[in-house]
């Protein structure tokens, strides 16, 4: 039986309204009590445009990436993205003000002071040898310390800044392209070719997609101003990508690409041989943390959010969450598999757990069971199905609740527990199987994440990764389940740029090293 999880009867998928906060509240303590968590966001405000942001420099504090409240005259605009968000207010007049502000004051992550590590649990507290196990991988310092940093700088710092950061994962390659505003004539030749190719379409090859709704204009990276563009394609198409990049001569000016993810190791030789490109590799998990902190800083007004009333189809809204004092928090990165990181400060974290039951499991099993072809199709099917004929519930075994252990009759006792009987298999649709799979994978991840949060004494869990793309169902399930299991003490948070933090972090981290040289 599951971990006290009530069976989550979700309504049919519906657009989630986005309701921004009126004003950020700065948290003064690192550890907050559940009651404080509940009121840390005000959900009675207007809609933001993802491609716009307001100047936040004046609200910055001195401790690393922590950013204070947004101004009361925060700018909003009509919404223009394809991420199932609905506009609640059109504030286009404020758009121009925000844009002009941005051009005057840019945020450069390199100018931020490094934060010291907060108080950690001491070894003395871990006197039990079994308990001490959870710290066996140790605390990691971002960038791997000075020695690793110095090695990293070699090879990245040419006279031209790199344009690309790529994160080659188990299923998807995530690419960020930095398009600078001010360029040398030499750069311009290559850049024009890249721009023409990228901006002419939102789709490339069989699986390539540009997530234009996530575009981040007016970034300042390594003292250069420009825009970040977000592109993804299947890792299985990596050879086609290399051929395309070769034919379009993307590598003529810049011969180094910032890369992370497992594929940065696996495809390194191919990239060097086929394109003459050297990879500036960074650690995958380091990069994710860098990326989260950079993007949340850039996009602090709306990057981080939670779902209010996740199971109520009419009331469910996305509410921005004040992530300006984030430490400690948990990151649950759901890609093909799952990694769970406890982040203690802007520079230190630990990989505390993981699971091999992740997005790749959902898609792989869904393809086997339903003959679907893509992740998007699998998610669409899940939204149209029901798991009640597939799973065995507590009430199927008990005839009702099991109150002694707070198990409602609607709790799933056994995923796919009815499917051993042929007559039951005849009565389920492909959509039901897809739905049952999605719920099984999601609830298992939520349950493990909750255990990690409880054991680390952390009350904020940030779920990221491309498993959550176009997958509001899992976000709703995670929101409801984490809240229910923890009686409101632990909060499930989400970030708009779901799966791109590794690519962004790797790019930012690499150019940061370059700047210091």
- Site residues for a second copy, 44-103, by CB under 8 A, read none
Judged by CB under 8 A, which of 12, 72, 314, 399 binds a second copy? Answer: 399
Is residue 457 within the footprint of a second copy (CB under 8 A)? yes
Interatomic CA distance for residues 315 and 43, integer angstroms = 12
Phi first, then psi, for residue 172 (nearest 5°) are -125, 145
Indicate if 36 belongs to the active site.
Answer: no
- Site residues for a second copy, 281-310, by CB under 8 A, read 283, 285
CB nearer to a second copy: give 197 or 402: 402
Residue carrying structure tokens 């563009």:
229
Interatomic CA distance for residues 132 and 150, integer angstroms = 32
Judged by CB under 8 A, which of 265, 386, 410, 515 binds a second copy? Answer: 265
Binding mask 219-238 for a second copy (x = CB under 8 A): -----------------x--
Give min distance, CB of 138 to a second copy, in A.
10
Q: Which of 52, 76, 237, 284 is catalytic?
A: 284
CA dist list (Å): 429 to 11, 14, 215, 393: 18, 21, 38, 19
Judged by CB under 8 A, which of 222, 345, 415, 472 binds a second copy? Answer: 415
Judged by CB under 8 A, which of 21, 51, 280, 392 binds a second copy? Answer: 392
Structure letter (DSSP) for residue 5: P
Judged by CB under 8 A, which of 9, 223, 315, 425 binds a second copy? Answer: 425
- Site residues for a second copy, 124-143, by CB under 8 A, read 128-131, 133-134, 136-137, 140
Is residue 155 within the footprint of a second copy (CB under 8 A)? no
Return the closest-CA partner of residue 319 out of 45, 14, 44, 20.
Answer: 20
Is residue 503 within the footprint of a second copy (CB under 8 A)? no
* Size of residue set near a second copy by CB under 8 A: 94
Is residue 146 within the footprint of a second copy (CB under 8 A)? no
Interatomic CA distance for residues 180 and 191, integer angstroms = 9
Q: Is 376 helix (H, G, I), strand (E, B) or coil?
A: helix
Give min distance, CB of 184 to a second copy, in A.
36
Is residue 108 within the footprint of a second copy (CB under 8 A)? no
Is residue 34 within the footprint of a second copy (CB under 8 A)? yes
Structure letter (DSSP) for residue 298: H
DSSP string over 35-68: HHHHHS------PPPTT-----GGGB-SSTT-B-
Interatomic CA distance for residues 210 and 202, integer angstroms = 5
């Amino acid at each position: 039986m599951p971990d006290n999880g009530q069976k989550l009867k979700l309504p049919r998928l519906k657009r989630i309204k986005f309701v921004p906060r009126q004003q950020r509240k700065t948290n003064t303590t690192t550890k907050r009590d559940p009651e404080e968590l509940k009121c840390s966001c005000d959900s009675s405000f207007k809609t933001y445009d993802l491609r716009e942001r307001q100047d936040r420099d004046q609200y910055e504090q001195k401790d690393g990436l922590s950013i204070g409240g947004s101004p009361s005259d925060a700018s909003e605009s009509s919404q223009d993205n394809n991420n199932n968000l609905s506009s609640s207010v059109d504030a286009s007049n404020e758009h121009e003000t925000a844009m002009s502000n941005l051009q005057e004051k840019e945020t450069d992550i390199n100018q931020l002071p490094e934060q010291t590590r907060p108080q950690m649990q001491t070894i003395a507290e871990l006197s039990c040898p079994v308990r001490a196990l959870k710290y066996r991988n140790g605390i990691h310092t971002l960038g791997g310390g000075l020695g690793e940093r110095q090695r990293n700088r070699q090879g990245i710092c040419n006279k031209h800044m790199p344009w690309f950061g790529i994160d080659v994962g188990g299923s998807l390659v995530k690419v960020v392209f930095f398009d600078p505003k001010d360029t040398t004539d030499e750069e311009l030749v290559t850049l024009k070719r890249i721009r023409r190719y990228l901006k002419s379409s939102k789709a490339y090859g069989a699986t390539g997609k540009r997530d234009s709704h996530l575009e981040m204009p007016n970034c300042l990276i390594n003292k250069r101003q420009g825009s970040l563009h977000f592109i993804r394609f299947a890792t299985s198409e990596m050879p086609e990508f290399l051929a395309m990049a070769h034919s379009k001569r993307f590598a003529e000016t810049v011969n180094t690409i910032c890369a992370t993810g497992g594929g940065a190791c696996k495809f390194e030789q191919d990239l060097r041989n086929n394109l003459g490109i050297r990879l500036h590799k960074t650690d995958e998990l380091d990069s994710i943390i860098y990326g989260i902190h950079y993007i949340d800083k850039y996009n602090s007004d709306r990057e981080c959010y939670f779902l209010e009333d996740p199971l109520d189809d009419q009331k469910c809204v996305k509410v921005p969450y004040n992530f300006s004092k984030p430490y400690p928090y948990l990151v649950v990165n759901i890609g093909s598999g799952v990694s769970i990181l406890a982040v203690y400060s802007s520079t230190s974290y630990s990989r505390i757990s993981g699971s091999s039951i992740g997005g790749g499991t959902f898609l792989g099993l869904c393809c086997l069971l339903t003959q679907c072809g893509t992740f998007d199709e699998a998610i669409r099917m899940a939204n149209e199905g029901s798991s009640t004929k597939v799973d065995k519930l507590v009430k199927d075994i008990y005839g009702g609740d099991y109150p002694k252990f707070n198990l409602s009759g609607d709790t799933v006792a056994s995923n796919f527990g009815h499917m051993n009987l042929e007559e039951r298999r005849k009565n389920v649709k492909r959509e039901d199987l897809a739905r049952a799979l999605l719920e099984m994978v999601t609830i298992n991840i939520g349950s493990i994440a909750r255990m990690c949060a409880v054991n680390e004494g952390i009350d904020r869990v940030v779920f990221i990764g491309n498993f959550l793309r176009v997958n509001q169902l899992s976000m709703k399930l995670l929101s409801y389940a984490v809240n229910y299991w923890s009686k409101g003490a632990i909060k499930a948070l989400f970030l708009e740029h779901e799966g791109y933090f590794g690519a962004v972090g790797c790019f930012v981290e690499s150019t940061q090293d370059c700047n210091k040289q």
